[in-house]
Structure 1
Amino acid sequence: MSGEYRTLSTNSLETGVVFFGKEHCLPNYFFTGNNVRENYIIHVITQGKGIFSSANHPIVNLAQGDIFILPKGVPCFYKADGQEPWSYFWLGLSGIKINTMLQQSSLGTKRYIKHAQNSNFYQSLTQLYNAVHNTHTFANDLLIESLIYQTFYYLNIEYPAHKESNKNKSDTYLNSAINYLHDNFEQHSCNINNLCHRLNVSRSYLYSLFKKEFNLSPQQYLTKIRMEEAKNKLNQSNLSIQQVSQSVGYTDEFTFSKAFKRYSGFSPKAYRQLEN
């Protein structure tokens, strides 16, 4: 398997490309690392085929000319075909406007687009991918930023999100809640009361949505996000237990340690020693 991977530094809080790369996959290759990402990663399939799925969405077959996205904080799985493994390039995007621009499009709601190769969106993505390879200059930074907005302009013009009917309102509330929890779990102020106030729904109504979809309460779902992220940080960083606890939304180490032991059966220190 061959490809490239490069990171970029960006000074933009609103939008920016933080890394990019490409891959020529081996048959049946699938990513074995953390399947919950910290950024929004758009993949453009340039040849071959494979399968893709993400949380609360069905598995789909994708091929050359199709595009899929790994949304921030959402578990995803994708695998190259055994006979015609795909090749793709990707762009990792970060910024406070990315999610808003995505959610106005079908890529943000469905998480994939088929047969996009003749679209302005596809061409603009390709131009953006080429631009991030250029030498770092102020002029090229302006070009990259302008191409990001151009890309999302074409995405929303050519692939707008379909308006949902009243019968799907509960799905809208659930997806909004999920996105909020994944985007804000590291904040101490992220809690279910604030979430209900934000969505203007009752706690019992939100509880019923989560129990039906996940068989978890909203609080259990939030705890799971925090604990899984804590596991990753304990395994993959040298952060202290206190630093890990603060990075996943806890105000003190003791409360975090009790919650972690209830969730995993181990104290944070014992879990780190076990995994390493």
Structure 2
Amino acid sequence: MEEASIMDSEFKNLNTNHLESNVLFIGQDSCPPNYFFRGNNVRSNYVLHYILAGQGTFSSANRPAVSLKRGDVFLLPKDVPCFYQADGQQPWTYLWIGFTGTKIKTMLDGSKLGSQRYLRQVQDSQFSQYLNRLYDTLKCGNSLANDILAEALTYQMFYQLVTEFPGKASPTGGKAQQHLQLAQSYLEQNYRYSTCTVARLCEHLGLSRSYLYTIFKKGLTVSPQGYLTRLRMEEARQLLRASTAPVREIASGVGYHDEFTFSKAFKRYTGFSPSAYRQTRY
């Protein structure tokens, strides 16, 4: 997560709870010269930065460093080491929005930003307009109307991103793509039930386990079981953050027969036990 600097900064944790696309936090910084983030440079979510003024340098794993300036955006992808530093003469001011959810990666991967991790001079785009509208809306606080508007703007922003800055076509096409979409839909609709398993998915679609594994790895870079686990764990994270329900109740609500099995899976996924995660602020 972003660290606020000592100058002209704002930061706000958000309590929205949408499994598919959830905004976790927003913030803005006017950085001192040569300032760089000294916290964990591997994020557990996706953080989108929009540069409002000044300039700086950005790099991510296995990619060359690039100089970015006002009107550019850059992305800190989930689980990818990144480094970014303000310029010594014209340090940047930027805003950021932190996202999580099962559809965020899919939407980002449909755009040039998902693969390149930065875009230049987007200030005149519809994407930029919706990004700024979303940020302003999120600053206004929680209400039913505002939450609905924020969710609508989130999807509109990603729609503009993938239409104005499209990525390369998916390597998975034809029937394989249809099968993948059907499999994703089945898991997303049924993961809360303990009867939802990869074996049941194969039976439901009439597909072999090895074929299903291949199309998931090719299209989503994750196995079917990994995708199912991600669905369950991401909702569990939201429930632990947003409610005081007992862990056994949350375990049952995301498809686990017992609290012990759920707790082991949750710790493997997050590095924390459910109770420890609930006490940790993100």
Match for residue 36 of structure 1? 42
169, 191, 198: which one pairs with 2:213? 198
148, 152, 160: which one pairs with 2:158? 152
How has the CA–CA distance of structure 1 residues 20 and 85 changed in structure 2, closer, same or farther, with 3 Å as cutoff?
same
Whichever residue aligns with residue 42 of structure 1, its letter is L
Aligned mates of 1:3, 1:140 — CA distance in 2: 23
Whichever residue aligns with residue 198 of structure 1, its letter is Y
Q: Which moved more, 1:11-20 or 1:96-105?
A: 11-20
How has the CA–CA distance of structure 1 residues 35 and 244 changed in structure 2, closer, same or farther, with 3 Å as cutoff?
farther
Q: Percent identity?
A: 47
Describe the superposition over 1:161-217 as per-residue Cα deviations: whole angstroms up to 9, x where unpaired: 03489xxxxxxxxxxxxxxxxxxxxxxxxxxxx999734699xxxxxxxxxxxxxxx
- Tell me whether 1:15 sits opposite 2:35 in the alignment: no
- Tell me whether 1:4 sits opposite 2:10 in the alignment: yes
Match for residue 131 of structure 2? 125
Aligned mates of 1:201, 1:162 — CA distance in 2: 18
1:102 shift after superposition? 0.4
Question: Gapped runs of 5+ residues in structure 2?
Answer: 1-6, 172-208, 218-262, 271-282
Aligned mates of 2:19, 2:28 — CA distance in 1: 25
1:57 shift after superposition? 1.5
1:248 shift after superposition? 2.9
Question: Gapped runs of 5+ residues in structure 1?
Answer: 166-193, 203-242, 251-276
Describe the superposition over 1:9-32 as per-residue Cα deviations: whole angstroms up to 9, x where unpaired: 112101121100000000000001
* 1:68 aligned counterpart, secondary structure: strand
Whichever residue aligns with residue 20 of structure 2, its letter is E
Aligned mates of 1:154, 1:16 — CA distance in 2: 18
45, 53, 58: which one pairs with 2:51? 45
Count of residue pairs brought into register by the alignment: 186
Whichever residue aligns with residue 152 of structure 1, its letter is F
Aligned mates of 1:50, 1:195 — CA distance in 2: 46
Superposition misfits of 4+ residues, deviation over 2 angstroms: 162-165, 194-202, 243-246
* 2:158 aligned counterpart, secondary structure: helix
Whichever residue aligns with residue 51 of structure 1, its letter is T
Aligned mates of 1:246, 1:144 — CA distance in 2: 29
Match for residue 168 of structure 2? 162
